[in-house]
Structure 1
């Protein structure tokens, strides 16, 4: 047993662990990163964020999805798309991501070790390598950034051939003719729409009466209409009783109420669990919840054991790579006594579905619940010249403004480039800007960003009408 001591020991090299380790190294502290995967990067690089977004981009390119507004629904860049076509670009992208991360660690002198970590006490971690060798490390501060693993209930017969979880689906050997996706959360919706764009017949099954409840209702209505319009079947309010493999050609999902869904392939994407089971958390005085997640102080990321921090998906919502990075930075700074500015109140939430969606600030429902007098402005992408050039038939941008202060309260986008466009709304929102900024400023023409001005003018017209109505009533 060899013993080594570090200022910060990080378990996991995903977005939170990576950012924390590099931040600590920039503060001239000694850092060890323990990663149990084959290479650094964590879930984000190998099975989560980067792979799913790469799969999406590949699907849109090879299927000709973005050009169908001009050339028709039958248009395809590649006639017969195979699973190998999807994986080729995926592996090239992942290789590049890992090389960049390894170089970042090397040039910042961050020590990395591959193996499975477990606590032996609150300041000691034992790491078991591939061949069973054990090494013990101590640290003044620890960061748990192990991410999550798919939730795999007993009633689902996972086999990696016809029944997959959200990690296994990346290794699918052939594109099926039909797919049933169980779970209409972010992951389920993303994969369901990606495979639908590849002309796979998709059925989305969700026990709740709706999906993605945190989104603005008008945005969600537009998105739902687009899914149904292209033939996706939505089975909401349908709890799954069991899943059976009928034969090598398909599966059957039995729903409460007697209904059944048949598909060649099943993807179960209803939830994920914190990957804390093997950490022996009891030895360091921590207890995860029933989903393996850890509770932390949101401002410092400290657990109930002050020198042990946790960040990323393992602490739950919002479970975004972007917010996980900031959590890792804040945790490292607080642990090492460095000042850490808290991120702004509002951050963008991106959903890489087809079409993609992004939102920042309050939804219309939240504004109503807070009893804030408001008005909305909406722009359709087809109203912009850039939308015409791109052949867009759908997509919308919605902004919500306070009637009293004219400040922007929320921005919601569905359609091409939503996750890029949202940052204009994010900046104005966090800088406490409002309607006048969008009305008075000039946007490049022709661009989709011009939709901000169109939506603002729509709100300005409505607000003017509201003010005139108030004057008449007075």
Structure 2
């Protein structure tokens, strides 16, 4: 067996949780290694957030060119090269991965390539990959292996007829038609992207709205926009009897007991994720799990002393920015840099058009909890900047505690929603009230004026509605 190298911290997983943890430990002067099966960046950077946003930017730009006459500009002969669009997204991922590699070197993080298995507490063995056979002795271990796409039993993913988001990000050929199963953020984003370039898209969701975790009115705006653009949205609908043929996929869509047979060139599964624990632990290491996810305490420590976990591997919300926050908190705590904080409020974003961004609770949740609250809502149709920019779809909604004015939730649907949500996030962190946001001068004309106007609407004082 190979001789071991001693580390203050070994991080298993190189995604937004893992690489952030390794870099933070390096900043603290610790000897640290980060184990990753592929290059740094994990699913988010290589097969998720970053390349998908590159695809969506191409779709957005193409759509704007097709509607350029709305702005008085005539563009003729607009065309696209699907392979180049996919290629550009891979180039973007390549560039960002190199950036993480540079940060590893800058912070003296050892990048170990392979699968890391916790053989016993304090010991990580590389069981395959380029560095197979290495033994890493660790004072502390942080597990940040994240999640992988959920699959359906007895349905082989071949990357052409049957795809998850990973295969879809490297499509060699654009499908003429596709059924996307699951209308959460990933499903909605791929529906927008493929539809923009002419693929016939059927978007299927078992629950009663697209983007099921979002505000019902925001989801309704997205569904209306999708349908207007030709996406066939099927809510409260199940998919059954999937049969894969050499050149197509046939299935039944079931709603209210009624079946409809449908055929498409491909099917894309966007039905959630499962914890990525394969080959992670030897039989000698028993961690407490909850539905497959690693259970941790308020310090992000597992049931075994010295083994910590952060990010998607500890359960929802499965968001890159939450994973990074948790990982940094865990490292700070384990090395005495303050008391770790657990995640409370966090923004959730969907990058189709119209974009959706939210933080805090929905109206439905507040009603279920019996909270007495007020609503302030401002439509982008009343925003001068939005109308001038030809981006008047959507609204800003603010949910406020009736007694104290505390911000309980915020929901934005429309252009730049994913950028604007940060203001309300900061407001909630600082315990700002709706009145304080209302009384903060926002530049005119800007999209962010809608944030101020929604706060003013809580008190019936919005000027432009």
When normalised by structure 2's length, the TM-score is 0.92
Q: Counterpart in 1 of 2:139?
A: 140
Structure 2 CA distance, aligned partners of 1:134 and 1:268? Answer: 35
Q: Counterpart in 1 of 2:3?
A: 2
Q: Counterpart in 2 of 1:31?
A: 32
Q: Counterpart in 2 of 1:333?
A: 332
Structure 1 CA distance, aligned partners of 2:285 and 2:156? Answer: 35
Per-residue CA shift, 1:178-225, capped at 9, x if unaligned? 211011222212212222233322111122333433322222222222
How far off is 1:343 after superposition?
6.2
Structure 2 CA distance, aligned partners of 1:342 and 1:458? Answer: 33
- Kept after mapping to 1: 8 A contact 2:333/2:340: no
Structure 2 CA distance, aligned partners of 1:82 and 1:267? Answer: 21
Matched, 1:160 2:159: yes
1:295–1:353 Cα change, 3 Å: farther
Q: Counterpart in 2 of 1:70?
A: 70
Matched, 1:46 2:46: yes
Q: Counterpart in 2 of 1:469?
A: none
Aligned residue runs from structure 1 range 166-185, under 5 A: 166-185=165-184
Per-residue CA shift, 1:350-400, capped at 9, x if unaligned? 122222111112211223233333221211212111112211241211112
1:217–1:31 Cα change, 3 Å: same
1:344–1:170 Cα change, 3 Å: closer
Structure 2 CA distance, aligned partners of 1:214 and 1:66? Answer: 31
How far off is 1:65 after superposition?
6.5
1:19–1:75 Cα change, 3 Å: farther
Structure 2 CA distance, aligned partners of 1:139 and 1:230? Answer: 54
Aligned residue runs from structure 1 range 201-240, under 5 A: 201-240=200-239
Per-residue CA shift, 1:403-439, capped at 9, x if unaligned? 3223322211011100100111112222222232233
How far off is 1:108 after superposition?
0.7
Q: Counterpart in 2 of 1:446?
A: 445
Per-residue CA shift, 1:24-52, capped at 9, x if unaligned? 11221110111111x11111111111111
Structure 2 CA distance, aligned partners of 1:233 and 1:127? Answer: 46
Q: Counterpart in 1 of 2:266?
A: 265
Q: Counterpart in 2 of 1:303?
A: 302
- Kept after mapping to 2: 8 A contact 1:10/1:31: yes
Q: Counterpart in 2 of 1:294?
A: 294
1:78–1:46 Cα change, 3 Å: farther
Q: Counterpart in 2 of 1:100?
A: 99
Matched, 1:244 2:263: no
How far off is 1:76 after superposition?
7.4
Q: Counterpart in 2 of 1:124?
A: 123
What SS does the aligned partner of 1:172 have?
Answer: coil
1:78–1:172 Cα change, 3 Å: farther
How far off is 1:282 after superposition?
3.0
Q: Counterpart in 2 of 1:253?
A: 251
Structure 2 CA distance, aligned partners of 1:439 and 1:169? Answer: 43
How far off is 1:462 after superposition?
7.2
1:295–1:232 Cα change, 3 Å: same
Structure 2 CA distance, aligned partners of 1:191 and 1:63? Answer: 15
How far off is 1:135 after superposition?
1.2
Structure 1 CA distance, aligned partners of 2:343 and 2:3? Answer: 43
- Kept after mapping to 2: 8 A contact 1:67/1:390: no
Structure 2 CA distance, aligned partners of 1:223 and 1:407? Answer: 28
How far off is 1:263 after superposition?
1.6
Matched, 1:16 2:26: no
Structure 2 CA distance, aligned partners of 1:420 and 1:77? Answer: 32
- Kept after mapping to 2: 8 A contact 1:194/1:354: no
Q: Counterpart in 2 of 1:461?
A: 460
What SS does the aligned partner of 1:412 have?
Answer: strand
How far off is 1:267 after superposition?
0.5
- Kept after mapping to 1: 8 A contact 2:218/2:394: no
1:331–1:172 Cα change, 3 Å: same
Matched, 1:376 2:375: yes
Structure 2 CA distance, aligned partners of 1:322 and 1:131? Answer: 29
Matched, 1:279 2:277: no
1:414–1:66 Cα change, 3 Å: farther
- Kept after mapping to 2: 8 A contact 1:375/1:462: no
1:383–1:154 Cα change, 3 Å: same
What SS does the aligned partner of 1:304 have?
Answer: coil
* Residue ranges of structure 1 left out of the alignment (5+ in a row): 464-474
